[in-house]
Every structure is written in structure tokens, then in C-alpha cells.
Amino acid sequence: MTHEAPGAASLPEQGSLALAPELSVIAPVLNEAGNVAALVARLVPVLSRCVRSFEIVFIDDGSTDTTLEVLRTLNHSDPRVRCVSFSRNFGKEIAIAAGLDHARGAAVVIIDADLQHQPEAIETFVNYWRQGYKNVYGQRIDRASDTPMRRWLTQNFYGMFSAFGETPLPEGAGDFRLLDRQAVDALRSMGERARFSKGLYAWIGYKSIGVPIQIDDRVHGFSKFSYRKLTRFALDGLMSFSTLPLMVWTYVGIATAVLALFAAFYFILETMTRGVDVPGFASLIVSVMFFSGVQLISLGVLGEYIGRIFAEVKRRPLYLVAENIGDARAKEQATDKLDV
């Protein structure tokens, strides 16, 4: 494949193809006023070097600081910088989905706005893309920039995912990556609400390759992911890519029933040989409590899945766009704000 806008003919809702740049960079932002200008300043020279034309699309995920104003100014001075602003915070995963919807490029790069991902790596990504790779992902060499607690949790999560998940995840792969238009369209065709992007990137397949990358420390501000958010994210990931937690209860049930049969057999024998023996209150209480616990856990797992099914069947739009800065099509979209 050459770099002559692969898949350009299939660009969706593009209006005039002349509008479509060769590369779109999308960056989800939540309160990153201190970082966005620096990111643009580092992106522009890299992109000017390696592609013919580009756009940088920020997805403002309900920022409450001056991020939006800074982005407006950036758009004024360089119309290649655009911004889609959400009506509230929808979360990074959904912001990425919106970025993929609004990107027009023949390839799309997803990058964090806090300069933890080095924009210079994009040059390598683009080189692989030109060699025909459709999914070029940055692979973390180490996790030194994470806290030890987060590293430990991450390790456990990936251990569980590879044991239970139905889609193998490449090691150390994150959101920083380049996707060919074909891969972008594949991701856009997946309408699910619980978006565990890392799983989705792996699920779509296509010719993929990992590029080792160094994750820098955050330049300004702090991580937006609390442990609570990360737990939710981990559960979403496991549950959208595995039905094992749902199925395992059949086996737990069978095992306990078999155990109960053995116990019944033992008690019958004991009664026959030694006569009726009333004591046993403690063991009774313990087993009642234990099995009530097991039942509640299994109900809880059912609840987790049902909650997700409920969220999916409501078919609410994935996100709502409040403002579209620098988009020539913004007028059309202002009348169609349910920008699914």
C-alpha cells in the first residue's frame, strides 16, 4: 500500500474529499489548559515533516477550566486545530469514540493531551502505516511513570484479562496509536456503550505492529483517573470481553451440589452408626452464611451484566456535542446535536 490516502474512497460523511487531510490527530482533553498549547507546538513540526496535510482534533470532555478558551485561540491562529466540545464529562473512552467520528484523515493518531505520549513517535507510526500496517500501536517499555500501586493493579488486571478475556491484548499497548481509515471505520461500526478501547483495538485485528515507546511524566496537572474510575474501567473491560464471570457460577453450583451430596451421605452414615447427634449449630451457621454469600456474589455478577445490557438497550447517544469549533460542517451539526 502506498500512502496515497488509503481507503479515501470510503471516507464516511466527509462532504468534499478535498477537506480530508492525510492524517488526523485526536486528543481527548479534560482540564488540560496548561498542556494543549504545548502539545500543538510539539505536534505541528512533527506532522509537517511526515505527512502532506493534517488536522488536530481535540475532544473537550467537559472541561471546567479554561481549556476550551485556549482551544478557541489555537483554532484562530491555526485552523488545522479543531475542537469538539461535549455537553459534560463522558469519559476518555467515549471522547476517543467521538474523535474517531470527527476525524477526517486517511489515518488517525490517538494521543493523550498531557504530553505523556511523545509526539515524535508519530513519525515512526506513519512510516509503518506507509508500509501497509493498519493498526500501529505504541508499546510501553516500562511503567515507571505510574505509582507502584497502579502498576500492581494494572499487572493483575492484565493477568486476569489474559486468563478470562476472549480477545488477547498485546502487552503494554495503550491508546497511543495510529489507525488506518479502514480500522477507524471498523471501530466506528461498533455501537457499544461500554467502550473498552484497548479490547476493541485488539478485536478488530488488521495488520498490526507494536512500536516501543517511552511514557513521560505529566507536564501539567494531575491524572484524571482515580482508583474508583480505574476499577469501573477494569470491570467494563473484563465484562465486555468475557462471559466467564457469568458462566462460572454453573460450575460453582455443580461443585457445591456435589459437595452437599457427599455431606448428606456422610451424615446419613453417621446417624446410622452413631445415632442422632444434635450439636452442629456452628457448622450450620457457617455453611448458611457461606452459601448465602456465594449466591449474593453470583447475583451481583448477573446484576453487573444486566446493568450493562440495560445501558445498551436504552440506545442513548454515546455523547452530546455542545460546540464544534473550527468545523466547516458545524452549522449542519448545530441542528443535529444528537451527534451519535
> Given the rule CB under 6 A, which residues bind ligand UDP?
28-30, 32, 61, 89, 91-92, 95, 112-114, 116, 223-225
Q: Which is nearer to ligand UDP, 22 or 93 (CB)?
A: 93
For residue 145, how many other CB atoms are within 10 A of its CB? 15
Q: Residue 170 or residue 221: which is nearer to Mg ion going by CB?
A: 221
Query: From Mg ion, ligand UDP, none, which one binds at residue 181 (CB under 5 to 8 Å depending on kind)?
Result: none
Cβ nearer to ligand UDP, comparing 47 with 59: 59
> What contacts 72, CB < 8 A, 6 or more positions away?
83, 325
CA 218 to chain centroid: 20
Smallest separation (angstroms) from ligand UDP to the CB of 33:
10
Q: Give the one entry of ligand UDP, Mg ion, none that residue 29 binds, where binding means its C-beta sits below a cut-off of 5 to 8 angstroms depending on kind.
A: ligand UDP
Least distance in Å: CB of 95 to Mg ion? 13
Count each helix (H run) and each strand (E run) in the chain, helices first.
11, 8
Between 50 and 59, whose beta carbon lies closer to Mg ion? 59
2-31 exposure pattern, b = at least 16 Cβ within 10 A, e = fewer: ebebbbeeebeeeeeeeebbbbbbbbbbbb
Q: Summarize as ranges the residues that interact with Mg ion (CB under 5 A).
A: 112, 114, 116
What's the closest the beta carbon of residue 170 comes to ligand UDP, in angstroms? Answer: 18
Residues in the chain: 340
**Residue 22 or 61: which CB sits closer to ligand UDP?**
61
Q: CB of 329: closest distance to ligand UDP in angstroms?
A: 23
Give the nearer residue to ligand UDP in terms of CB position, either 32 or 101: 32
Closest to 191 (Cα-Cα) out of 10, 319, 306, 302:
319
Least separation in angstroms between residue 223's CB and Mg ion is 5
- In the complex, least distance from residue 145 CB atom to ligand UDP, rounded to whole angstroms: 8
Neighbours of 63 (CB within 10 A): 21
Out of Mg ion, ligand UDP, none, what residue 46 binds, judged by CB under 5 to 8 A for its kind, is none
Name the burial class of residue 322, with classes exposed (0-12), middle (13-18) and buried (19+) by CB atoms within 10 angstroms of its CB. Answer: middle
Q: Note whether 177 and 110 are within 8 A (CB).
A: yes
